[in-house]
Every structure is written in structure tokens, then in C-alpha cells.
């Protein structure tokens, strides 16, 4: 006799069918839940992709603005330098004129 066989346990088909029905309902519920999780994961992956694209776009914009600011700052520095030299030359001319 096989040791896996249990002759002592009575077989009640009505009770087993009810358990099988409950288990099938549970399986269907879990499969539906799994489908929802997979769909949510797909949506989240799409959102992540969109956010990464947006972040890349914003980083490019920030780099462009920094470059523009740097060029503008350099230009204003040259302008301020020329104004300083011009004012210095004008003051020098006034001093020579009065002395």
C-alpha cells in the first residue's frame, strides 16, 4: 500500500465541490487583481517615461538659460568696463582743464 494514500479520510464530494468553487472564485478574484496591478504598473511606467522626458527638456532649458546668462553677464561686464574707462578719461580731462 502506498503511504500517500489515506483511507482513513472520508471523501465528501459535496463539501469538496463547495471548497473548489470557493477556491475558483478566489483564483478569479486574484487574477483580476493581478490584471489591475499589471495595468497600474504599465501606466506608472508610461508616467515615468513622460516625467523623464519632461525632466530632460527642463535640464536642456536650464543649460540654455545659463549659457545665455553667462554671455549676457560677460557683455554687461565689458559695457561696465568701458563706462568706467570713459568716466575715468572724462574726470582726467576735467582735472587737466582746471589745473
For the record, the C-alpha cell of 30 comes out as 486574484
Q: What is the pLDDT of residues 10-35, one digit of tens each?
A: 556 777 888 889 999 999 999 999 99
Q: How many whole angstroms separate alpha carbon 23 and alpha carbon 16? A: 10
CA distance 16 to 22: 10
Residues 37-52: tens digit of each pLDDT: 999 999 999 999 999 9
Distances in Å between the alpha carbon of 12 and those of 19, 70, 78?
11, 85, 97
Quick one: pLDDT band at residue 53, thresholds 50, 70, 90? very high
Instruction: Provide the whole-model pTM.
Output: 0.50
The whole-angstrom distance between residue 67's C-alpha and the CA centroid of its chain comes to 25
User: Which set of grid coordinates corresponds to residue 90?
Assistant: 572724462
Amino acid at each position: 500500500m502506498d503511504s500517500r494514500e489515506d483511507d482513513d479520510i472520508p471523501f465528501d464530494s459535496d463539501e469538496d465541490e463547495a471548497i473548489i468553487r470557493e477556491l475558483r472564485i478566489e483564483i478569479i478574484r486574484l487574477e483580476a487583481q493581478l490584471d489591475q496591478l499589471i495595468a497600474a504598473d504599465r501606466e506608472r511606467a508610461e508616467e515615468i517615461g513622460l516625467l523623464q522626458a519632461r525632466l530632460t527638456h527642463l535640464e536642456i532649458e536650464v543649460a540654455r538659460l545659463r549659457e545665455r546668462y553667462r554671455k549676457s553677464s560677460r557683455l554687461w561686464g565689458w559695457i561696465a568696463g568701458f563706462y568706467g574707462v570713459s568716466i575715468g578719461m572724462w574726470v582726467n580731462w576735467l582735472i587737466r582743464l582746471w589745473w
